[in-house]
Amino acid sequence: MDLKHTTIHALSNELNAGKISSLELCQAYLKNIDARDNEIGAFLEIDREHMLAAAQEADSRRAAGKTLSAYDGIPIAVKDNICVKDERCSCASKILEPVKSPYDATAVAALKKQGFIPFGRLNMDEFAMGSSCENSAFKTTRNPLDTSRVPGGSSGGSAACVAADFAPAALGSDTGGSIRQPAAFCGVVGVKPTYGRVSRYGLVAFASSLDQIGPLCNDAEDAGIILDAISGFDPHDSTSLPDAAGGFADAARKGLETGSLAGLKFGLPKEYFTGGLDAGVAKVMDETIAKVKALGGQIVDVSLPHTKYAVAVYYIIATAEASANLARFDGIRYGSRQDANGLVDTYYKSRGAGFGDEVKRRILLGTYVLSSGYYDAYYLRAQRVRTLIRKDFEEAFKHCDLLLTPVTPQTAFKFNEKSDPLQMYLSDIFTIALNLSGHCGISIPAGIDGATGMPVAAQIMAPAMGEATMLSAAAAFMK
Ligand code: GLN
């Protein structure tokens, strides 16, 4: 069967109509992987035997009329910082290379409960720190649309996996754009849920107040299907929201059915449309705005004045949290340990050999901004500006239902093009504020950049808990 950009809902129909078995489906995806992953490098590891055994179990359940859900037997791939029981979980870092997950992340357990088959771990920037996957300790992942270009990051393996049809969907994580930016670079759909919507239990923490797990997939309905499965309150995550979640796939279906944006007000934050946008991206954004209007959507101008501080604030708060979160990787309790003379030497040598340059840079930066004398000047101040950034969004949402912006200022860049860390950090300028504010956002393919031939994406952002409206609008737009 043709798996090109095949959706979970289409596969579910085929499976439930008996047109294909889960075993055949999994074999077909493995065939794609065998044909091309040598070149693409999306996967760090694939668990074939388990995948095929799980597929056979799903087929038996279906034959007996006992499917776990309409999606029983559909494979899904998982970013390497999300725990899948008994599989390795290295965060693409040498320091965690030997580690196997003792339990399933809540999101993974939720997918398994519906019969989804998590079968492989996807490459990423080490500890999710990066925007190109070039910070992986283990391998290079290439953009399936142009292998001389990066797939984005940090969930670059997840985006490449979906774009190359190695799986219909993948889980990623987004701390400052790591789902939306690679989705944009590879021409797939990616969602960062509202902070607290999806449990972080079993996601290796980078910056705990910003991290969220979310889907990368082929359309808005699939994003809804996965969000329906993985969102909801979890006693294992103290920041998980008590609000009832669900109805996301239905909302997307409704949007697709009507194909209309009538009644929706889209705010254009003027700070996201000033210079700095590549001409090809600006052109697609103009076309996107025209299309939104043609579909009945209303456009209003809004302002997010403190967004200009978002990158600076992020690199204080995210690094501060990372320096605390990564302190546990010390060569003592788990992970790799270097031979050394005594305890402190063990820390030094294990961390020195285990962490890559970017991770060390962040730990140094984060430790610095938290140290006495600098805490007030940097960390505390950044927290205050974070509040201003969040208030900007709340003010903007008083005047519109959704915000419409680009995801990135330029399309997928070439390898080694951004060797200066600051240049790399600035490529997340349109995604980072949303993690600081906690609201939700989706990246959807919107057109092609004439100069590079690479996809350009639009970002739709919604108020907290606004995923249903956001997915419905995304589905209508993508129709
Ligand atoms: N690129 C950003 C960073 O390096 C965001 C990463 C992420 O969202 N995990 O921190």
Ligand 1 centroid, distance to 177 Cα (angstroms): 6
**What's CA 466's distance to the chain center, in Å?**
18
CA distances (Å), origin 358, targets 135, 137, 310, 354 = 7, 11, 20, 12
Task: Tell me what pLDDT residue 98 has.
Answer: 84
Residue 70 Cα to ligand 1 midpoint, Å, equals: 34
Please tell me the distance between residue 259's alpha carbon and the centre of ligand 1 in angstroms.
33
Residues 327-345: tens digit of each pLDDT: 999 988 878 899 899 999 9
Could you tell which of 209, 428, 429 is best to mutate to test the pocket of ligand 1, judged by most ligand atoms within 8 Å of the CB? Answer: 428
Active-site residue, from 131, 178, 350, 472:
178
Half-sphere exposure of 350 (CA within 13 A, CB side): 25
pLDDT (tens digit, 9 = 90+) per residue, 78-133? 999 999 999 999 999 999 998 899 999 999 999 999 999 999 999 999 999 999 99
Q: What is the pTM of this model?
A: 0.98
Choice among 93, 101, 136, 154 that is catalytic: 154
List Cα–Cα distances, 204 to 80, 91, 446, 456, in angstroms: 9, 8, 32, 30
* Per-residue confidence (pLDDT) for residue 107, from 0 to 100: 98
- Token pair in block for residue 211: 């991290």
Look over the chain and give the mean of its residue pLDDT values, rounded to a whole number: 96
Sign of CA dihedral 162, 164, 167, 172: negative
The one catalytic residue in 79, 94, 112, 192 is 79
Q: Hey, what are 348's tokens?
A: 């030094």
CA distances from 255 to 233, 259, 457 (A): 26, 6, 19
- The number of CA neighbours under 13 Å toward the Cβ of 468 is 10
Q: Which residue's alpha carbon is nearest to atom 4 within ligand 1? A: 130
Ligand 1 mean position, distance from CA 176 (Å): 5
What's the alpha-carbon Rg for the chain, to the nearest Å? 21
Binding pocket residue ranges, ligand 1, CB within 6 Å: 128-131, 154, 174-178, 206, 318, 428
Going by C-alpha positions, the residue among 100, 120, 136, 139 that lies closest to residue 33 is 120
What pLDDT is recorded for position 334? 78
Tell me whether residue 414 is one of the annotated catalytic residues. no
Q: What is the pLDDT of residues 221-237, one digit of tens each?
A: 999 999 999 999 999 99
